[in-house]
Amino acid sequence: MKRLLSIFIISLVLLHLAKADEGMWIPILLEKYNFEDMQKKGFKLTAEDIYSINNASMKDAIVIFGRGCTGEMISDQGLLITNHHCGYCQIQKHSSLEHDYLTDGFWAMSKEEELANPGLSVTFLISMEDVTERILQDITDDMTESERSSLISKHIEELEERAVEGTHYEARVEQFYQGNQYFLFINEVFTDVRLVGAPPSAIGKFGGDTDNWMWPRHTGDFSLFRVYAAKDGKPAEYSEDNVPLKPKMHFPISIKGVKEGDFTMVFGYPGTTQEYLPSFAVEQVLNESDPHRVLIRGQKLEIINEAMNSDPLIRIQYSAKAAGVANGWKKWIGEMRGLKRLDAVNKKKEYEANFQEWVNNNRGLYAKYGKILEQYESIYSEMSKYNLGMIYINEAGIGSDAVMLALKVRVLENLDGADDKMVELIKQEVISTGKAHFKDYNEATDKKIFAEMIRLYIENVPEEFHPAYLENFDKITKKADDKYAAFACYCFDKSVLTNQEKFDEFTKDLSAKSYKKIMKDPIYILMKDFLSVYRNQLAGEYTKYENQIDSLNRVYMKAQMEFEADKLFYPDANFTLRVTYGQVDNYFPKDGVEYDYFTTLDGIIEKDNPEIYDYDVPDKLKELYANKDYGQYADADGTIHVGFIGTNHTTGGNSGSPVINANGELIGVNFDRNWEGTMSDIMYDPDMCRNITLDIRYALFIIDKYAGATHLIEEMDIRK
């Protein structure tokens, strides 16, 4: 009876979750699993409208933007919208003190003024297909994990090669459900992508790191790019002869606005979730991984912010770096708070107790799954010190730009015995690397970061994982009051990697003999020693445990799906195209507090503070507000809506994803989650998890009324 009650309670919880908009669903399986529920929530189109092989569908209007975001087509002339923070690196690369596009914004008033972005690409999905049987053919239960992995890799390589033979497409096979299912993705990649428009940071990054991950939010987080192709419509490298791409599909844009309870769908490329972790993994995240990452990044961020506030040039140089550091730092803080609030570890343990009872009551099940949880516990315990070492190597060991430059110029080791031709090739590569590096570098700032990273490493990492060069630490700093600052000064003064003049002098006279000089450089030696610790002491052991966990994950995933045979499982996110759907909704973050589902321009004006860079509202925007010059973009309530929230299950990678209404129209651009919901990568909470969306009307208002780029509005299919 007690067992039946436990199952009943779990079933009720799962039923609640199923109705709470949790899940990131494979688009070609919607009709089979989810479509009826989508219709009940208000969706008015067909599954074929979302994903179709034979006809243009929504999937043809969605791209992977760069390497980690989503974007969507909004005109038949290749115009694309994504987040400001997704285009941030490109905007920064075009910025200088003379043309500070980060601070002032950028708007191309004609196609001729659009800016090329070497290295930037967008990727369209052509098709996806379940290839599980072909990948797992000849796989048997008596294989070792090594044999299994090797054969699967062979099958994947062969399938990917055959799938695109004779075409310009690219293929990738991805695993789902921890390796219990495989899909083949055929993609088309375009590499001529030009910057069209970006609001000033005071709009596109309004609130900065303070408001990041927070609701209420007032950030106009969007930027515009255009995809170009050869005249035959196929991908081509940048050329003045290229023409704007005519996509198979672009989104119509609705300016009707949203109200509470409206259906919303996010269609994009979520990065990574880990919803089916055992309790031991969640404990590691909560008590080890996240706290140390937060500590390291918090210290780094403090130094960078102080430097950025002291000098406009440093602000330009370090804006993108600061955003990258801060994003993870704040997310992990929210994740820890959310996991603690949900009592996630104990919830997992309760689930595991019921799972183990189910296994123990069946001899056949026990033979397959009886030792899984015990094995997990042993592995996570043994790998702890290696996990800590890996975190500190990646976040602190190579956490300063100087050490990272040393890592990037390891080609210098090929100077040993090189002939004149090879020396020249190495010289040009190193000069190019240095040029890109020093454009966004400040020596004094990096020296402080270096000192702090060394301190954190020494104080928190077991001595067995300390790089050999740190044996000289006491000798170098014995007379100093601040030993870490003294160590940094010593290393920076004697290195050619910490100053552009010294670096240029070094590369100017580069020869085969320069090998000996770089091998005596303290920053280079330190990098080599960190690399040695990583390769010889950490990576092998860490990978061994990761492989063991991966193998267990596959079995445990299969076991969970047997244990809860009536549950509809969604696969963890893996940066493949997914649908998530829900409704516009408010939430209650704490006792006595309710957050409404939308924000307005009124809130931006309320936050205006010319003394703070991230809250200095542009005069033009204040003028538009004062005159209520909103054009066709005001809501029925007479205000300009800036953002809204919904119950869609999103994660990193969903940045820039289209937020779509029941009629298949674009109503916003997804750009964040609320801080109270950042633990949704591990455990979703229907009461707290909300995705934050830029109201498309605010973006159009900025493009039209603020920037005067009305020609862009005229490209779009706007529906009133």
Q: What positions carry a catalytic annotation?
A: 85, 221, 655
Distance between CA atoms of 303 and 178, rounded to whole angstroms?
40
At 191, list the tokens: 């590499």
- Using an 8 Å Cβ cutoff, are 434 and 405 in contact? yes
- Using an 8 Å Cβ cutoff, are 247 and 77 in contact? no
Distance between CA atoms of 493 and 496, rounded to whole angstroms?
8
Distance between CA atoms of 165 and 364, rounded to whole angstroms?
45
Burial class (CB in 10 A: 0-12, 13-18, 19+), 488: buried
Helix or strand holding residue 390 (H, E)? helix 372-392
Distance between CA atoms of 75 and 712, rounded to whole angstroms?
9
All residues at 6 or more sequence positions from 423 whose CB lies less than 8 Å from its CB, including other chains: 415, 510, 511, 512
- Using an 8 Å Cβ cutoff, are 692 and 671 in contact? yes
DSSP letters of 492-557? HHH-SSS-HHHHHHHHHT--TTHHHHHTT-HHHHHHHHHHHHIIIIIIHHHHHHHHHHHHHHHHHH
First to last CA, the chain: 58
> Which DSSP category does 186 fall into?
E
Write out 451-488 in H/E/C secondary structure: HHHHHHHHHHCCHHHCCHHHHHHHHHHCCCCCHHHHHH
All residues at 6 or more sequence positions from 575 whose CB lies less than 8 Å from its CB, including other chains: 64, 68, 269, 270, 271, 272, 653
Nearest to 114 by CA among 18, 22, 240: 240
Distance between CA atoms of 449 and 451, rounded to whole angstroms?
5
Distance between CA atoms of 453 and 470, rounded to whole angstroms?
13
Distance between CA atoms of 304 and 307, rounded to whole angstroms?
5
DSSP bridge pairs for 659: 266, 668
